[in-house]
Amino acid sequence: MPAPPDFTWPNGARLAVSVVLNVEEGAEQNIRDGDRGPEPVDELGAVPSRPMRVHGNESNYQYGIRAGWPRIVRLLDRHAIAPTVTAAALALERAPQVAADIRARGWEVAAHGLRWSHQYWMDEDKERAFITGARDTIARMVGVRPRGWLSRYLHTEATRRLLAEEGFDWHMDDYSDDFPFLDRVETAAGPRDMVIVPYAIDTNDMKMWVAPALQPWDWARYAIESFDALHAEARAGAPATMLSVGLHLRIVGRPGRIGAVDRVLGHLRAHPDIWIASRSAIADAARPVL
């Protein structure tokens, strides 16, 4: 459902932008953590058919923590943009320096699972423990309890209800709109309205990771053109919208890709009539009119 015609974001903006920084590295599949095999997403082209650790792939992920994180933080600081960090709790636990940086900057953290794992196979008790474990670990690491949730793609019919019952008030596992909407969730304590803050796959840097992959400047051009189209609609008086730009440490934290993000962020900053905000702020601003 589109925004009401007279709705504007704070400061009169008709376009909100959400920069999402995913922290997953160290929480991916690994037999050291009891998984049946290694993480299958592998730029190195070596996914074994038997259970074993793939140390090269693990180090490829760790690049995101060691080199990618500080490089991305410097860029975001330079553009004065505070992202919503969607963090797998175990990744923060294993990289306390990342948690400390987040805490020092006051950046919002949304839960991206206890680990970077699919939920579709979990029964309700396991999924609830997965959700509460993520919530409590993130609160311990950054000092603030997360309000929002992003799954690793495949969640269950019970996920949204469990989130509502465990204190979450917005959910972003949705790609169906350019504006938030409400979902009425029947919980054990009665109905609750969960704000759905849609995410986006097409403006996500995963498009530079999975085959067929975009080259960095092609991805930047696509993200900029997506922004320009929504911005032009806003200037023409169309209902208010939002744009999500998703980033990952191990992807755009590389020297050959960080310039593409710089180009996108610089383009955003050249438009003072937009609102760059956390996802909780977007949910809060939209809720009264949903």
| Confidence band for 41, pLDDT divided at 50, 70 and 90 | low
Q: H helices of the chain, where?
A: 55-63, 69-79, 89-94, 96-105, 124-142, 159-165, 216-235, 249-252, 255-269, 279-286
Phi and psi for 21 in degrees, rounded to 5? -115, 110
Q: CB atoms < 10 A from the CB of 248, how many?
A: 24
Q: What percent of the chain has pLDDT over 70?
A: 98
Q: Is residue 250 part of a domain?
A: yes
Alpha-carbon distance 75 to 146, whole Å? Answer: 24
How many structural domains comprise the chain?
1
- 3-state class of 267 per DSSP? helix
Q: What is the CATH number of the domain that holds 175?
A: 3.20.20.370
Q: What is the mean pLDDT of residues 261-267?
A: 98
Alpha-carbon distance 192 to 184, whole Å? Answer: 6
166's tokens: 């465990």
Q: Is residue 44 part of a domain?
A: no
| Confidence band for 1, pLDDT divided at 50, 70 and 90 | confident
Q: Is residue 267 part of a domain?
A: yes
More confident residue, 188 or 12: 12
Q: Which domain holds residue 89?
A: 10-37+50-289
Q: Is residue 150 part of a domain?
A: yes
More confident residue, 141 or 28: 141
pLDDT of residue 57: 81
Q: Is residue 269 part of a domain?
A: yes
| Confidence band for 46, pLDDT divided at 50, 70 and 90 | low
Q: Is residue 32 part of a domain?
A: yes
Alpha-carbon distance 7 to 77, whole Å? Answer: 30
pLDDT of residue 49: 74
Alpha-carbon distance 243 to 223, whole Å? Answer: 9
Q: Is residue 2 part of a domain?
A: no
Alpha-carbon distance 265 to 68, whole Å? Answer: 17
pLDDT of residue 43: 56
Q: What is the mean pLDDT of residues 131-156?
A: 96
Phi and psi for 131 in degrees, rounded to 5? -70, -50
pLDDT of 37 strictly over 80: no
Q: Is residue 4 part of a domain?
A: no
Q: How far apart are the first and last CA of the chain?
A: 9
pLDDT of 116 strictly over 90: no
Alpha-carbon distance 221 to 120, whole Å? Answer: 35
Give the rounded distance of the alpha carbon of 276 from its chain centre: 15
pLDDT of 47 strictly over 70: no
B/e letters for 166-201, b = 16+ CB within 10 Å, e = fewer, are bebbbbbbeeeebbbbeeebeeeeeebebbbbbbbe
pLDDT of residue 55: 80
pLDDT of residue 59: 85
pLDDT of 23 strictly over 80: yes
